[in-house]
């Protein structure tokens, strides 16, 4: 079995390549080539954290077979200088079922989530979009900035984060690591004013994005709010938008952003226009008008981790990277 650490995952799985793998993952998901139970979330009474497990089986040519992601979410971790989610992705040899590769899930999650958003942006955002607002300054906020510049030339970038000092660190990181100039704003509304690309990547529980903040023609990747009791978008913002999802099933079961306006009677489940995979397969046209507001609600799917796991294992083996260990 190949052990692949965080640095190696990043080295062998650049966002540009990952975006292609993730577009294929979303197509296979919508073509029902994937067996994927809803993720299980174990919230023990005696711990502040939770364990999420996402097993699955992917069929098709390449990057296919059994895999699982297991991650612990510890709310205390960011305060300790550790990542919020910690865990592993494991993929199995498609023939024998023997464990093939075990890798750092934090890096996989950061890259695969941003790469799915990149695929969604490429499919749904206006061709000329390039005025980006990022809400949040953590792991996903960083990988999303990297991903957005892969699919659209960025004219302007603004960031808002709950803790101003973290937004300042983000600005310095973007300048040093990506050579991108980022403006820090004092409120989400200020970041969103006039933006035609938005990535929301916070752990907020209450909406940060109001309908009036969304400029005509904007595309929003709504990445945080992965649970029913979390929200980033107001009900009116969701109702105003053409709403796309990674998975209808996950969105209906897990998205607070979608559930709240449904409970309030503003919209029905039919507010979901399509899965991203359906758009990529040409089964749905995606954006229809320049002034349309599109939202891609990302919840994250095991197929994204499993196909990433196979792609990473393949690339690491080809480059002679990773540490080989014998289990038997």
Could you identify the residue written with the tokens 């952003």? 257
Query: Which residue, 96 or 163, has its beta carbon nearer to ligand NDP?
Result: 163
Distance CA 135, CA 150 (A): 19
Does residue 49 bind ligand NDP (CB under 6 A)?
no
86, 72 in Cβ contact below 8 A?
A: yes
Provide the 8-state DSSP code for 39: P
CB-based contact 240:83 (threshold 8 Å): no
| Smaller CB separation from ligand NDP, 2 or 214 | 214
140 binds ligand NDP (CB under 6 A): yes
The answer to whether residue 185 forms part of the interface with ligand NDP (CB under 6 A) is no
| CB-based burial, 106-129: b 16+ in 10 Å, e otherwise | bbbbbbbbbbbbbbbbbbbbbeeb
Q: Tell me which of 287, 298, 310, 313 binds ligand NDP, using CB under 6 A.
A: 298
Q: How far is the CB of 148 from ligand NDP (least distance, A)?
A: 15
Q: Which two tokens stand for residue 84?
A: 């919020």
**Cβ distance to ligand NDP smaller for residue 65 or 224:** 224
For residue 220, what are the β-bridge partners?
198, 295
Q: How far apart are CA 147 and CA 16, in angstroms?
A: 8
- The DSSP bridge pattern shows strands 156-160 and 40-42 to be unpaired
Interactions with ligand NDP, residue window 247-286 (CB under 6 A): none
Distance CA 297, CA 319 (A): 35
Segment contacting ligand NDP by CB under 6 A, of 49-57, 131-139, 149-157, 254-262: 131-139
With binding defined as CB under 6 A, does residue 295 bind ligand NDP?
no
Q: What minimum distance in Å lies between the beta carbon of 168 and ligand NDP?
A: 10
Window 195 to 254, contacts with ligand NDP (CB under 6 A): 201-205, 223-224, 226
**Do the beta carbons of residue 217 and residue 292 sit within 8 Å?**
yes
Residue 147 CB, nearest distance to ligand NDP (Å)?
Answer: 12
**DSSP letter for each residue of 156-198:** EEEEE-SSHHHHHHHHHHIIIII----EE-SSHHHHHTT-SEE
Which of these ranges, 34-42, 62-70, 137-145, 252-260, lies near ligand NDP under the rule CB under 6 A? 137-145
Contacts (Cβ under 8 Å, ≥6 apart) of 154: 130, 131, 132, 148, 180, 197
Residue 300 in contact with ligand NDP, rule: CB under 6 A? yes
Segment near ligand NDP (CB under 6 A), from 40-48, 77-85, 122-130, 211-219? 77-85
What is the rounded distance in angstroms from the CA atom of residue 21 to the CA atom of residue 302? 13
Nearest distance in Å: CB 167, ligand NDP:
6
Among 52, 67, 138, 261, interactor with ligand NDP by CB under 6 A: 138
Q: Say if residues 280 and 27 touch (Cβ distance below 8 Å).
A: yes
Candidates 125-133, 136-144, 146-154, 261-269; binding stretch for ligand NDP (CB under 6 A):
136-144
Q: Which residues bind ligand NDP (CB under 6 A)?
A: 78, 84-85, 109, 113, 136-141, 161-163, 166, 201-205, 223-224, 226, 298-300
């Amino acid at each position: 079995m190949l052990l692949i650490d965080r640095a190696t995952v990043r080295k062998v799985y650049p966002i540009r390549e990952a975006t292609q793998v993730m577009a294929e993952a979303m197509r296979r998901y919508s073509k029902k080539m994937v067996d994927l139970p809803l993720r299980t979330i174990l919230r023990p009474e005696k711990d502040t954290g939770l364990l999420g497990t996402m097993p699955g089986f992917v069929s098709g040519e390449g990057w296919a077979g059994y895999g699982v992601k297991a991650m612990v979410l510890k709310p205390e971790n960011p305060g300790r200088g550790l990542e919020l989610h910690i865990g592993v992705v494991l993929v199995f040899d498609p023939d024998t079922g023997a464990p093939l590769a075990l890798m750092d899930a934090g890096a996989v999650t950061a890259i695969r989530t941003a790469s799915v958003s990149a695929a969604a942006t490429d499919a749904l955002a206006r061709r000329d979009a390039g005025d980006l607002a990022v809400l949040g300054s953590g792991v996903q906020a960083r990988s999303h900035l990297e991903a957005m510049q892969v699919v659209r030339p960025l004219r302007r970038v603004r960031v808002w984060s709950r803790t101003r000092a973290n937004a300042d660190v983000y600005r310095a990181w973007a300048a040093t690591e990506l050579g991108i100039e980022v403006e820090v704003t004092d409120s989400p509304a200020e970041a969103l004013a006039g933006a035609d690309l938005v990535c929301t990547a916070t752990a907020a529980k209450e909406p940060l994005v109001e309908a009036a903040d969304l400029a005509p023609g904007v595309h929003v990747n709504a990445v945080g709010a992965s649970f029913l009791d979390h929200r980033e978008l107001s009900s009116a913002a969701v109702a105003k938008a053409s709403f796309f999802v990674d998975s209808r099933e996950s969105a209906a079961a897990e998205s607070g952003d979608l559930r709240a306006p449904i409970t309030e009677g503003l919209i029905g489940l039919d507010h979901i226009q399509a899965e991203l995979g359906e758009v990529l397969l040409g089964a749905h046209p995606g954006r229809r008008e320049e002034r349309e507001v599109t939202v891609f609600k990302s919840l994250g799917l095991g197929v994204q981790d499993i196909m990433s796991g196979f792609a990473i294992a393949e690339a690491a083996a080809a480059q002679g990277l990773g540490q080989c260990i014998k289990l038997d």
